[in-house]
A and B are shown apart, each in its own frame.
Chain A
Amino acid sequence: MASEKSIFLSVLNDTRSRSLIIQFLLLAGIVLGFSWIVENTITNLAAQNKSVGFGFLSQTAGFNIQTTLGTWMFDYEVGRSTYLDVYYIGIVNTFVVAFFGVLAATVIGFAFGIMRLSHNFVIRSFATVYVEVLRNIPLLLQMFFWYFAVLSALPDKRGKIEIIPDIIGINITGLYIPSAHPQDGFMATVIALIVAAVLTFFINRWARLRQQATGQIFPAFWVGAGLLVGLPLIVFLVTGRPLTWVIPEFLETGPILRRGYQDGGILVIPEMMAIWLALSLYTAAFIAEIVRAGIQAVNKGQTEASSALGLRRGPILRLVIIPQAMRIIIPPLTSQYLNLTKNSSLAVAIAYPELVSIFAGTALNQVGKEIEMIFMMMSVYLTFSIATAMFMNWFNARAKLVER
């Protein structure tokens, strides 16, 4: 009796076997919990006479979707396109807003973050006010503000403001930009661009190595820029400009509903502008704080040492402070990028046809496959998030302090 108890106790007191037991119990708990969820789901669905499956994806979707990059890419047509196309269109539209939102938020955020540290009182206060106002107002309200601000600032469908006369114009239905259509022979220009990019890469490397070896500075940036612009331009002109532009046409007369801009060219709808503005400006306020904190976290001695070496303010910031600050900035910056992507789902409130709106909204209401569709929607956000996180981790690994 006593020995049995002592065996039991000794097993329990042994770190290795104890950890095994705990892991086993945890695993059993997860498996039980998961099977309970599945079982329960099936019973509840059966009670409501619902079936499970992805067959609905091949049904045709019977509703119109606003013209966006997504509908253009997948050639959306009512009565022919399926719910799967709707899914793809939602993904593309979400991606577009997230991508351009991340770009703009980064630029604006860095600018305001640096402005927050300016010695100029006006600039510094302006940046402070910006950050405090924008990050303290709910994003949804900002979206409504920008949307209705954009709508009320623009002329109606039959009017226009020309940003570049006869080429780029805007009214309440959106921003109209000419679209480029490559012709035969355009490939040569693309190849020239690739060649220029490869050359630029090697010139940069050579210049860096030479500077390290001899201390001489080569104007690699300007040479690279010249190559990247010049070489494709020359090839483009030599091959006889194989690119045609479709400029959106504006009708002043005819049936009243037909007046205004016609199809053709690129259309950026006001919903897209509003959501992009709101997401970029809101996230930029957070990024500004991250950047400010990152810069301030770099020891003041670094600035003083650089000054002692005779560097001016600009190069100190660019060569000494920012590279060290980046190590601190990148991880929280990643979270902001992920937040921006997920926040784009608020766009449903102002009629931008992104994933939550058209797939988990309109389409879900028509086919009623909550489980399948929410699962599909979640996997998209998960994929976007993991991809962003992977890219930022790679970037972080490059930027972090390498001890020598």
Chain B
Amino acid sequence: MKKLAYALAGLASIVFATNAMAMETLGQVKDRGHVQCGVSQGLPGFSNADDSGNWTGLDVDLCRAVAAAVFGDSEKVEFSPLSAKQRFTALSSGEIDILSRNTTWTMTRDTQLGLNFAGVNYYDGQGMMVPKSLGATSGLELDGANICTNTGTTTELNITDYFRANNMSFNLVAFEKADEVVSAYDAGRCDVYTTDRSGLAAQRGKLTNPDDHVVLPEVISKEPLGPVVRQGDDNWFNIVRWSLNATINAEELGVDSGNVDQMRNDDNPSLKRLLGTEGNFGEEIGISNDWAYNIIKQVGNYGESYEKHVGENTPLKLARGVNKLWKDGGILYAAPIR
């Protein structure tokens, strides 16, 4: 009944809430004293809570960046773990200020669900994991498979498209939470576990014998994952978008949490604008001018977050790949601060 209650609460807040709710998120956040951020219920590397309840991950860092921009303190953020199914209702009802939960940017979501995507913090694609004992080397050999995944995600649609396009039959077993998907796949209910490839890398560690499973080479979809806000509050949208842009620009300009104090004295005009020693960029969106300095000092630039949470030296071992900066051969490209 909890899920139902959640949906109903969301419905009720759309129905009952006063009009002010949809407006002026920044003012509300400041009054409340913290940013309320919607994250996953536990996806290592992206948003995951440790034993003492501290949240870490790439998506979590985005929330911390926004908190650092608004309050100058990256700790002024609280997290709401949400299932894939609950996330949009939680956002549109005002329970959370940002949704940073490995959420794919699609046209339907952008145009019909009353949401705005503030950018992309991880370029992903959907993949498939199978037990090695199956002997499959390609997704095209999976005709007749049982496939486990989550409800309320784009993965259900992508996998259906992929099998239809290749004229193969399959049976979809869709669970509400990722933990049950992993358990059911582990128990042998399904031949295939499909989700974003980053998710496969993260969840694989939860299997009884991670080495008995292999991720197939096919990438069957484009999954640009990024933070989401409600439509109708452009200022808040700007704050979230530019918090993300700041971390990417910082990496491009070679600023990280270690050298940011020293770089602040640099004469490079791009750096001066980024770190708030020149111009009025922060005040124009209702926050302080050293907003980006606070982000970089307290959270770090994009590359730092990446290496810390999902990079080669983490259990996920995800290569930067397309998530490299544009000048290093990737597609990560943030609009300039000027």
Residues of A within 8 A of B (CB): 37, 40-41, 43-45, 47-50, 62-67, 78-79, 140, 144, 147-148, 151-152, 156-157, 172-173, 255-258, 270-271, 342-343, 345-346, 348-351, 353, 356-358, 360-362, 364-368, 370-371, 374
Contact (Cβ within 8 A) A351 B180: yes
Determine the chain B residues whose CB is within 8 A of the CB of A148 once the complex forms: 183, 187
Question: A78 CA to B168 CA in the complex, in Å?
Answer: 12
Contact (Cβ within 8 A) A345 B172: no
Question: A65 CA to B19 CA in the complex, in Å?
Answer: 38
Assuming the contacts A48-B232, A256-B135, asked whether A368 and B3 have C-beta atoms less than 8 A apart, the reply is: no
Binary contact track B134-152/A, C-beta < 8 Å → 1, others 0: 1110000111111010011
- B19 CB to closest chain A CB (Å) equals 5
Contact (Cβ within 8 A) B157 A157: no
Of A49, A370, A374, the residue contacting B231 (CB under 8 A) is A49
23 intermolecular pairs with C-beta atoms under 8 Å apart: A40-B15, A40-B17, A40-B18, A41-B14, A44-B15, A44-B17, A47-B19, A47-B22, A62-B160, A64-B159, A66-B174, A79-B164, A144-B180, A147-B184, A151-B184, A157-B188, A256-B135, A257-B144, A342-B1, A350-B180, A356-B4, A357-B174, A365-B84
Binary contact track B110-147/A, C-beta < 8 Å → 1, others 0: 00111000000000000000000011100001111110
Question: A351 CA to B156 CA in the complex, in Å?
Answer: 13
Contact (Cβ within 8 A) B230 A370: no
For the A-B complex, the count of residue pairs with Cβ-Cβ distances under 8 Å equals 168
Assuming the contacts A156-B188, A342-B1, A370-B14, asked whether A257 and B175 have C-beta atoms less than 8 A apart, the reply is: no
Determine the chain A residues whose CB is within 8 A of the CB of B206 once the complex forms: none
Binary contact track B167-180/A, C-beta < 8 Å → 1, others 0: 00011111111001
State whether the Cβ of B21 lies closer than 8 Å to any Cβ in chain A: yes
Contact (Cβ within 8 A) B85 A361: yes
Contact (Cβ within 8 A) A64 B189: no
Contact (Cβ within 8 A) B112 A368: yes
Question: A385 CA to B39 CA in the complex, in Å?
Answer: 36
Residues of B within 8 A of A (CB): 1-4, 7-8, 10-11, 14-19, 21-23, 84-85, 88-89, 92, 108-109, 112-114, 134-136, 141-146, 148, 151-153, 156-157, 159-161, 163-164, 170-177, 180, 183-184, 187-189, 191, 230-232
Determine the chain A residues whose CB is within 8 A of the CB of B153 once the complex forms: 365
Contact (Cβ within 8 A) A271 B173: yes
Assuming the contacts A40-B15, A47-B22, A361-B151, asked whether A345 and B146 have C-beta atoms less than 8 A apart, the reply is: no
Assuming the contacts A48-B92, A257-B142, A348-B3, asked whether A65 and B152 have C-beta atoms less than 8 A apart, the reply is: no
Question: A366 CA to B4 CA in the complex, in Å?
Answer: 17
Contact (Cβ within 8 A) A172 B188: yes
Of B10, B174, B177, the residue contacting A362 (CB under 8 A) is B174
Determine the chain A residues whose CB is within 8 A of the CB of B173 once the complex forms: 66, 271, 351
Contact (Cβ within 8 A) B4 A345: yes
Determine the chain B residues whose CB is within 8 A of the CB of A43 once the complex forms: 19
Determine the chain B residues whose CB is within 8 A of the CB of A256 once the complex forms: 134-135
Determine the chain B residues whose CB is within 8 A of the CB of A62 once the complex forms: 157, 160-161
Determine the chain B residues whose CB is within 8 A of the CB of A151 once the complex forms: 184, 187-189
Closest 6 CB pairs of A and B: A48-B114, A368-B113, A365-B152, A64-B172, A47-B22, A151-B187
- A106 CB to closest chain B CB (Å) equals 22
**Which secondary structure characterizes the binding site on chain A?**
helix
Contact (Cβ within 8 A) A44 B14: yes
- B168 CB to closest chain A CB (Å) equals 10
Determine the chain B residues whose CB is within 8 A of the CB of A270 once the complex forms: 189
Contact (Cβ within 8 A) B160 A63: yes
Of A37, A157, A362, A370, the residue contacting B152 (CB under 8 A) is A362
Determine the chain A residues whose CB is within 8 A of the CB of B175 once the complex forms: 349-351
Contact (Cβ within 8 A) A47 B23: yes
Of B3, B21, B88, B157, the residue contacting A44 (CB under 8 A) is B21
Of A173, A346, A371, the residue contacting B146 (CB under 8 A) is A173
Question: A345 CA to B189 CA in the complex, in Å?
Answer: 22
Question: A47 CA to B94 CA in the complex, in Å?
Answer: 13
Contact (Cβ within 8 A) A365 B85: yes
Question: A256 CA to B84 CA in the complex, in Å?
Answer: 32
Contact (Cβ within 8 A) B14 A257: no
Question: A368 CA to B108 CA in the complex, in Å?
Answer: 9
- A87 CB to closest chain B CB (Å) equals 16
Question: A47 CA to B155 CA in the complex, in Å?
Answer: 29
Contact (Cβ within 8 A) A44 B22: yes
Of B157, B183, B231, the residue contacting A366 (CB under 8 A) is B157
Contact (Cβ within 8 A) A367 B152: no
Assuming the contacts A40-B17, A257-B142, A368-B114, asked whether A172 and B170 have C-beta atoms less than 8 A apart, the reply is: no
Assuming the contacts A47-B23, A366-B108, asked whether A374 and B8 have C-beta atoms less than 8 A apart, the reply is: yes
- B189 CB to closest chain A CB (Å) equals 6
Determine the chain A residues whose CB is within 8 A of the CB of B156 once the complex forms: 63-64, 362
Question: A343 CA to B1 CA in the complex, in Å?
Answer: 7
Contact (Cβ within 8 A) A362 B15: no
Determine the chain A residues whose CB is within 8 A of the CB of B146 once the complex forms: 157, 173
Assuming the contacts A148-B183, A151-B187, A258-B143, asked whether A348 and B134 have C-beta atoms less than 8 A apart, the reply is: no
Contact (Cβ within 8 A) B141 A257: yes
Question: A331 CA to B13 CA in the complex, in Å?
Answer: 35
Question: A370 CA to B161 CA in the complex, in Å?
Answer: 25
Determine the chain B residues whose CB is within 8 A of the CB of A368 once the complex forms: 88, 108-109, 112-114
Question: A67 CA to B144 CA in the complex, in Å?
Answer: 13
Determine the chain A residues whose CB is within 8 A of the CB of B14 once the complex forms: 41, 44-45, 370-371
- A36 CB to closest chain B CB (Å) equals 9
Determine the chain A residues whose CB is within 8 A of the CB of B174 once the complex forms: 66, 351, 353, 357, 362
Question: A147 CA to B170 CA in the complex, in Å?
Answer: 22
- A363 CB to closest chain B CB (Å) equals 9
Question: A350 CA to B188 CA in the complex, in Å?
Answer: 14
